[in-house]
Amino acid sequence: MRSWKDRQSIFSLAMPKSSVQTSALRQLNSSAANSVNYDSTVENAPPKDIVDWLAQLTLLQGVPFEYLVPYSALLPHESIRFFYIDENWQDRMVDGAISVGVSSTQDNMFNAAWYEALYAEVQAQRLKIRTDMRNQEALSSSDSTISGFLFRSIVVEAWPGIEIVGTKDKTPLPILRMDRLSSGVLLCLFAGVPDDVQFIEPGEGLHFGLLDGQAEGSSEVLVRGLGLPENQPLEGGEQLITSGSSDNYLTAPATFRSNNNGQEGVVNMQDLQGAIKTAFSTYTTPDGYQPGLSALPEDGTVTSAAMAVQLVRGAGLMDYQTPSSAHQQDNE
């Protein structure tokens, strides 16, 4: 769909034949597949520097932030806003950019005759911008729709290495752009429309620790499987679910030593070892399976390695999901 529906009729006399356009477009796409072999001698092929710049423009690079968020209340502190980028709006932005070089009716007719080829070239090039900077293989996506989000939070500043994963039907979507627009604002654009977006704390180190228990002042650990028993193992490193709900996990209470020469916060490892063993001995999976102490190594011993697995604190994850009904309604 194009905003200027009468464009074809207005400039029908200036348009080259469809066979000529198709041939030129095929040459443009094949030459763009390898920037090293880009052939600027192809008749009417747009210069690569211009295509690169226009592709970056369609990914909102160089667009003033005030144009994206005209009023600060639209993006308050500790908020996230998801959006689509209208393809017609992108095309009109490209039209405006190339109109700078229009100085005659002939230039205007030329732009009108070849605008579809230029749009296709820009669309293909924007899939390569991020991968070229990261020395990765070019992305491939049949979905021309671009969606994304603006995230304004202290998290952006505290976690500069935050990881973003967007998926659709559990298939990862390519990220076209991911930039910090300021110390506290993150912009991310996807090729396609995700139904699930995960914000993952950067896993830059291995940490051990306890979690706050349900009772005030108490502590606990989330019990994890150790890949045992061999005939029907509990998934190694995975938190053990106690019911059909993914929010109910098997835990073991942790206590602290008392009168430890005035030092507070020292875990009573012997008591914790016994609590973990008790948790395994009484554990029942949601489907009724009871592995018992066979889920522990060495005939039911909570070894130092098993203890380390239980105390690992993994990277935090925040998951945003699109309600299926709302997602279907948007697509209709």
Give the model confidence (pLDDT) of 224-259 as tens digits.
999 999 999 999 999 999 876 667 899 999 999 887
> The tokens 């690569």 sit on which residue?
48
Q: List all residues 6 or more positions away from 175 whose beta carbon is below 8 Å from its beta carbon.
A: 130, 164, 166, 188, 189, 190, 191
- pLDDT of residue 326 exceeding 70, the answer is no
Q: List all residues 6 or more positions away from 163 whose beta carbon is below 8 Å from its beta carbon.
A: 198, 199, 200, 201, 202
Whether 97 and 125 have beta carbons less than 8 Å apart is answered as no
pTM value? 0.64
H-helix or E-strand spanning residue 96: helix 87-98
Number of C-alpha atoms within 13 angstroms, CB side, residue 293? Answer: 10
Question: pLDDT tens digits, residue range 43-79?
Answer: 556 788 889 999 999 999 999 999 999 998 999 999 9
- pLDDT of residue 200 exceeding 80, the answer is yes
> The tokens 């296709």 sit on which residue?
120
- Identify the band that residue 138 occupies on the pLDDT scale cut at 50, 70 and 90: confident
211 - beta bridge partners?
220
Question: pLDDT tens digits, residue range 147-198?
Answer: 999 999 999 998 888 999 999 998 999 999 999 999 999 999 999 999 999 9
Whether 174 and 190 have beta carbons less than 8 Å apart is answered as yes
Angstrom CA distances, 40 to 27, 48, 57, 61, 329, stand at: 11, 8, 21, 25, 44
